[in-house]
Structure 1
Amino acid sequence: MAPGFAGFSDAVYNRSRLPLGVRELARMAVAFANECSVCQNTRFVQSGELDGDFYAEADRWRTSARYSEAERTAAEFAHRFATDHVGLREDDEFWERARQHFDDGLLTDLALSCAFWVGSGRALRVLDVGQSCKINL
């Protein structure tokens, strides 16, 4: 199964059309929902697009002025995908807001990315795979 998992990971991190900030704030929202320390401590800073402050405020994505409306909408999607997928599906007001920022392709990328993060984060949590140091990629 490892090659399939690696392929899914490659698709999420290297083939998605999601802007990096949108992807990373959504990923962090899932990391907090999953209580996954590995995920919470991973940083994608190599490109120089994001800095430590981006991640430092990630747990306050709902209220921080640092994030764009698109980033906050993606984080809301991710959080609800992880915690209330049925409610998310039925929330017409949310979908109206989401459509202001994302076309069908981006929403598909976001949903599949969230599926990867929820599944892998929960597997790490259930198997008690912990990481205390930050991982910068």
Structure 2
Amino acid sequence: MRHGLTQEFYDHVAEHPERSEIYSERERLAIEYAERFALDHHHIGPELFDRLRTHFDDGEILELTLVIGRHLAFGRLTKVLGLETTCVLPGEASDGTRTGTTGYYDC
């Protein structure tokens, strides 16, 4: 479990989340917004923002937009520069010894 979410939660993102009951309506809207931002941003209009505002305030929409944009930019940056997207981060095993774990971004 990571950030209070199960692996099952993450596993369903690529499997038509708009039809998955595992996500709330708010989460499905955020996923739809992220997908459209990444794949079809020219067609994001008032209709989507009206639906977003039923579950998010303006500050949350701004934060969601910034997070989506940052991750999209990071993905493009790593692809263009041919960088690795994962690295070994220091971790701690249950017995207190240090271990290496695979992590993202903060390398």
| Residues paired across the two proteins, number | 89
Q: What percent identity do the matched residue pairs reach? A: 35
Cross-structure match for 1:53: 8
Higher strand share: 2
State the TM-score, normalizing by the size of structure 1.
0.57
Relative contact order: is structure 1 or structure 2 higher (C-alpha 8 Å, sep ≥ 6)?
1
Q: CA deviation at 1:123?
A: 1.2
Distance 1:68 1:52 in 2: 16
Superimposed CA distance per residue, residues 70-103 of structure 1 (whole angstroms, 9 cap, x where no aligned partner): 0010011111111111201x2x322221111001
Q: CA deviation at 1:114?
A: 1.0
Cross-structure match for 2:98: none
| Structure 1 residue ranges, 4+ long, deviating more than 6 angstroms after superposition | none
Any gaps of 5 or more consecutive residues in structure 2? 87-100
Are positions 1:68 and 2:36 aligned together? Answer: no
Pick one of 48, 63, 70 that aligns with 1:116.
Answer: 70
Cross-structure match for 2:92: none
Distance 1:135 1:54 in 2: 18
State the TM-score, normalizing by the size of structure 2.
0.71
Higher helix share: 1
Pick one of 38, 45, 49 that aligns with 1:82.
Answer: 38
Q: Which of structures 1 and 2 has the bigger CA Rg?
A: 2
Counterparts in 2 of 1:5-20, with a 5 A limit?
A: none
